[in-house]
């Protein structure tokens, strides 16, 4: 009887494990892995799937693969025509579906002058329908140590085909310059509204554009930071700023919310919650700014020791006034960190990186620890700096619609990106863009998936870390050649969830996923990613459709 009971319990455990696995719906035939440039997978409303690969060099053009809703390949197109110039970091500002077609917004740097081009591609044939330059900005100093500071921000309304482009300008462009310009487009790509902002008396010496949201079928909301010199106190001061542009209007309204005064705001994001009708703001404020040499292992190495304070707030979507604030610190994840690393001196120090709205009006915030290191080399006749970013532990917090935190969880990891210039809220900024493919770094970072009542963190890691983490240790991921794809179920029961293989685990090979270019259809609960299988001296790359 005991043996029968043990067998029943074993079968039940196996069934529970099997039910937790992602279900593979289909796999594409193998193809050559895109290893440079920029890429994105897109699930269309008609059920088709598109893989767009933009090569870094102009002469290589753009590759488009289109699969129908039965996951069969129906079109492969090589587009030779492409905006001029070679591409830098964050050059593909947007890839999304507009009016049944694929729309690309690309920054091309021509003679060190960024210009924004729009390309419209037929989502059935892959043919280029139209390409045009829609705006440009002033010249920049761009070299190995000074990557492109992209002046363009593109955001689409998730509930309509309206989208907006914001341009950030600097004083070097002209004496009578407009600091921020915003253009709203409809589904025919026709300009609906255009407005610009210049502070009276050039109040802001620096007006940073952090994030933008399009909501209510054509209203544009912007969050940023304004920096200026206060003559009365003879010191520099700054304010969080909110801006709004209404559909069919040509005035950009600016307000200064009365929160986080006196802080330098290095990053912030804005979302519109359709359930509550409110704007949700999330940001990080610099509380200490020191750059000190690391314990001297290598000459010329320095690490940025920046202390940040995360903050959250709700704003009225009409008046842009702050209604109330909420605490964003993931306390349960911090306690899990102390437990995992067996030290009370190991609280969680990550900052918010993205925010996801849930169907019930609540929302989830994901956090990550970022540490930047730069190493200087004397390479005559000039000095060269290599910028590296360490991506460490992730945390996830869930909130109700009023901003009360319900739970938080810790996901331990450690990955190195080099070269890299990632900044606060990089994870949010890459939403709906073409992600860079560079030296395997596209397999690092992480992905958050909110599929109704089931939420997940997905990432690539070495299987060896399953054992190492039991002892509070981690293997730092430099290269991904021996990594597999894993997922962590996020729920209210466990602040330190266990990982599971995303794909079937085979000892003779490893299977990665390009999470940074993936897409998810929440309505039909379909997740699509690109899988790379390494084993036996062979590499196979496929598109995988899955159901969480």
Residue of 493, 459, 489 lying closest to 474 (CA atoms): 459
What residues contact residue 233 under an 8 Å CB cut-off, 6+ apart? none
Q: What's the pLDDT band for 307 if we cut at 50, 70, 90?
A: confident
The model carries a pTM of 0.90
Dihedral sign for Cα 7, 9, 11, 14, please.
Answer: negative
Which stretch of 281-290, 369-378, 454-463 has the lowest confidence by average pLDDT?
369-378
For tokens 């940023």, what's the residue? 224
The whole-number pLDDT of residue 212 equals: 98
The whole-number pLDDT of residue 59 equals: 84
Q: What's the pLDDT band for 16 if we cut at 50, 70, 90?
A: very low
Q: What's the pLDDT band for 197 if we cut at 50, 70, 90?
A: confident
The whole-number pLDDT of residue 326 equals: 98
Cα 235 off chain centre by: 34
The whole-number pLDDT of residue 420 equals: 79
Which stretch of 118-122, 380-384, 388-392 has the lowest confidence by average pLDDT?
380-384
The whole-number pLDDT of residue 523 equals: 92
The whole-number pLDDT of residue 384 equals: 66
Q: What's the pLDDT band for 243 if we cut at 50, 70, 90?
A: very high
Assess whether pLDDT exceeds 80 at residue 472.
yes
Assess whether pLDDT exceeds 60 at residue 290.
no
- The arithmetic mean of pLDDT across residues 182-201, rounded, is 90
CB 9 within 8 A of CB 403: no
For tokens 């363009």, what's the residue? 152
Q: What's the pLDDT band for 441 if we cut at 50, 70, 90?
A: very high
- The arithmetic mean of pLDDT across residues 308-312, rounded, is 93
3-state secondary structure of 289: strand
Q: What's the pLDDT band for 79 if we cut at 50, 70, 90?
A: very high
Cα 536 off chain centre by: 34
- The arithmetic mean of pLDDT across residues 433-459, rounded, is 92
CA distances from 491 to 53, 87, 497 (A): 35, 40, 8
């Amino acid at each position: 009887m005991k043996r029968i009971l043990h067998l029943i319990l074993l079968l039940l455990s196996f069934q529970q494990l099997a039910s937790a696995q992602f279900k593979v719906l289909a796999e594409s035939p193998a193809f050559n892995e895109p290893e440079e440039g920029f890429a994105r997978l897109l699930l269309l409303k008609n059920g088709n799937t598109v893989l767009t690969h933009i090569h870094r060099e102009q002469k290589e053009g753009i590759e488009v693969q289109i699969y129908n809703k039965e996951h069969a390949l129906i079109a492969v197109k090589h587009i030779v025509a492409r905006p001029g110039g070679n591409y830098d970091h964050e050059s593909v500002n947007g890839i999304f579906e507009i009016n049944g077609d694929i729309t690309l917004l690309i920054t091309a740097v021509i003679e060190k002058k960024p210009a924004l081009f729009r390309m419209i591609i037929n989502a059935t044939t892959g043919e280029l329908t139209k390409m045009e330059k829609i705006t440009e900005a002033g010249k920049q100093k761009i070299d190995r140590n000074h990557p492109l500071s992209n002046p363009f921000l593109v955001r689409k309304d998730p509930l309509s085909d309206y989208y907006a482009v914001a341009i950030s300008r600097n004083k070097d462009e002209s004496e009578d310059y407009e600091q921020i310009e915003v253009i709203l487009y409809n589904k025919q790509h026709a300009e609906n509204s255009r407005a610009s902002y210049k502070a009276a008396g050039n109040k802001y010496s620096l007006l940073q554009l952090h994030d933008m949201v399009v909501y209510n079928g054509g209203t544009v909301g912007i969050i940023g930071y304004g920096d200026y010199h206060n003559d009365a106190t003879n010191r520099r001061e700054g304010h969080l700023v909110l801006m709004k542009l209404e559909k069919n209007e040509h005035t950009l309204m600016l307000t200064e919310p009365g929160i986080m005064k006196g802080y330098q705001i290095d990053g912030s994001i804005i979302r519109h919650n359709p359930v509550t009708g409110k704007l949700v703001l999330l940001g990080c404020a610099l509380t200490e700014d020191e750059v000190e040499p690391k314990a001297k292992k290598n000459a010329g190495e320095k690490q940025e020791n920046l202390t940040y304070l995360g903050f959250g707030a709700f704003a009225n979507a009409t008046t842009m006034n702050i209604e109330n604030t909420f605490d964003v610190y993931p306390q349960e994840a911090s306690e899990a960190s102390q437990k995992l690393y067996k030290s009370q001196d190991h609280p969680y120090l990550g900052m918010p990186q993205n925010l996801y709205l849930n169907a019930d009006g609540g929302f989830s915030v994901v956090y990550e620890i970022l540490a930047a290191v730069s190493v200087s080399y004397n390479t005559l006749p000039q000095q060269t700096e290599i910028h590296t970013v360490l991506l460490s532990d992730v945390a996830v917090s869930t909130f109700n619609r009023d901003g009360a935190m319900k739970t938080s969880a810790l996901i331990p990891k450690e990955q190195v990106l080099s070269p890299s210039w990632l900044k606060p809220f990089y994870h949010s900024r890459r939403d709906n863009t073409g992600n860079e493919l560079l030296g395997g770094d596209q397999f690092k970072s992480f992905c958050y998936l909110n599929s109704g009542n089931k939420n997940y963190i997905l990432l690539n890691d070495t299987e060896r870390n399953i054992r190492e983490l039991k002892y509070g240790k981690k293997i730092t991921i430099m290269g991904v050649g021996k990594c597999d794809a894993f997922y962590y179920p996020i729920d209210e029961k466990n602040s330190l969830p266990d990982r599971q293989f995303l794909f079937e685990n085979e000892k003779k090979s490893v299977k990665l996923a390009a999470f940074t270019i993936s897409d998810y259809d929440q309505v039909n609960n379909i997740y699509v990613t690109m899988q790379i299988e390494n084993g036996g001296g062979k590499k196979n790359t496929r598109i995988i459709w899955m159901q969480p």
